[in-house]
């Protein structure tokens, strides 16, 4: 815990220095030099920076993940990288490049992920703006954003791995593959569903066209269907969910994992219901006065599906859609 705090302090100082100092911090990755302009976000062992390639002037969202445990931590992070590369869909973010370097200030390693920069922010930013300005999403716009998010989730739930195709002699390795389509693979195999497990407005970016939602942050992603054989496995899944899945958007079966049950992609359906509710009413159905100010338990509210629809001009059909996803 102390080492984690030290690492976070270093990154925080770096972020602060980028604001206070005239000289812009720089980092060299894969033979390229990038200027670090500002911090876009942070959480756990990771920071996300606005980075600009000194040579091309191109800007990226650069995610920096510290792995103080060395190779074990790197292996865990690389699973996130594989998830980014696995799913190819217009509503799912594409990773542009990645790199693993030795931490110059510690014994661990650092993984850098280059991601597209979406200047319009995410759905949570739009919700916050609505709250500040006393506005609400028009229902048609909200449903359009939600539909795109659902299409991204469906691509994960219906994922079909493919057999790798044989390389042609003329194939050339791409060093920086962000502007190149992945090579076409062989015939698809059977469906292997994946669950995102941390669906929420903050993990849905808005593309530069202002209308296309882009699902991101695959650090919590795993194969959806997991049979729980014993109590030890149940507790392990609960611990993973507590660490990786935001509480007020987490499915009830992840709060109380039971032996003999199979966890599956329905955990994402619950989170989608919470997300649509948040788009409509500016907060998760389980972030209310009782749970946030009166000492109530979010976990108990989720396990009992205790929530209400505030009065609004939204249609009965929208309320029914939300309710259909929030069933225990």
Give CA–CA dist 69/219, Å, rounded: 17
Fold exhibited by the domain 2-115: Phosphorylase Kinase; domain 1 (3.30.200)
Give the model's pLDDT for residue 1. Answer: 55
User: Which residue matches tokens 């980092």?
Assistant: 27
- Spatial neighbors of 108 by CB under 8 A, at least 6 apart, are 66, 67, 68, 69, 70, 73
Residue 161 confidence (pLDDT): 86
- The stretches in the chain having pLDDT less than 70 are 1-24, 44-45, 106, 163-187, 289-296
Give the residue extent of every domain in the chain. 2-115, 123-158+193-325
**pLDDT value at position 47?**
87
* DSSP codes joined into one string, 129-172: HHHHHT----HHHHHHHHHHHHHHHHHHHT---BPPPPPPTT--
What are the distances in angstroms from CA 302 to CA 116, 215, 249, 268?
A: 34, 24, 9, 14
Does the annotation place 200 within a ligand binding site?
Answer: no
Domain range 123-158+193-325, CATH architecture = Orthogonal Bundle (1.10)
Angle at 181 between CA 179 and CA 183, to 5 degrees: 140
Residue 185: predicted pLDDT: 58
For residue 169, the model assigns a pLDDT of 40
Is it true that 2-115 and 123-158+193-325 share their CATH fold? no
Alpha carbon distance 47, 76 (integer Å): 17
Amino acid 8: pLDDT: 57
Rounded to an integer, what distance in angstroms lies between the CA atom of residue 293 and that of residue 291? 6
Instruction: Note the pLDDT of residue 173.
Output: 31
Output the pTM of the full model: 0.82
Catalytic residue ranges: 196
């Amino acid at each position: 815990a102390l080492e984690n705090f030290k690492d976070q302090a270093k990154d925080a100082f770096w972020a602060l220095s980028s604001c206070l100092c005239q000289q812009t911090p720089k980092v060299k990755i894969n033979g390229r030099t990038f200027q670090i302009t500002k911090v876009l976000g942070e959480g756990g062992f990771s920071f996300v920076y606005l980075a600009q390639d000194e040579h091309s002037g191109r800007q990226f969202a650069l995610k920096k993940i510290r792995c103080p445990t060395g190779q074990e931590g790197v292996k865990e992070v690389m699973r996130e990288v594989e998830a980014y590369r696995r799913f190819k869909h217009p509503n799912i973010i594409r990773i542009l490049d990645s790199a693993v370097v030795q931490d110059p200030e510690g014994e661990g390693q650092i993984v850098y992920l280059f991601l597209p920069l979406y200047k319009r922010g995410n759905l949570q930013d739009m919700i916050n703006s609505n709250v500040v300005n006393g506005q609400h999403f028009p229902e048609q716009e909200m449903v359009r954003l939600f539909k795109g998010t659902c299409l991204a989730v469906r691509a994960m739930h219906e994922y079909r791995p493919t057999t790798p195709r044989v390389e042609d002699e003329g194939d050339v390795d791409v060093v920086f593959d962000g502007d190149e389509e992945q090579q076409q693979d062989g015939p698809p195999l059977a469906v292997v569903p994946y669950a995102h497990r941390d669906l929420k407005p903050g993990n849905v970016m808005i593309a530069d066209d202002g209308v296309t939602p882009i699902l991101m942050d695959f650090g919590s992603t795993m194969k959806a269907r997991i049979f729980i054989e014993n109590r030890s496995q149940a507790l392990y899944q609960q611990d993973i969910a507590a660490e990786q899945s935001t509480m007020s958007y987490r499915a009830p079966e992840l709060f109380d994992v039971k032996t003999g049950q199979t966890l599956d992609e329905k955990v994402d359906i619950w989170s989608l219901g919470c997300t649509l509710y948040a788009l409509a009413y500016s907060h998760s159905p389980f972030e209310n006065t009782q749970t946030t100010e009166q000492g109530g338990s979010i976990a108990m509210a989720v396990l009992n599906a205790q929530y209400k629809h505030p009065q609004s001009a939204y249609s009965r059909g929208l309320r029914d859609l939300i309710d259909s996803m929030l069933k225990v």
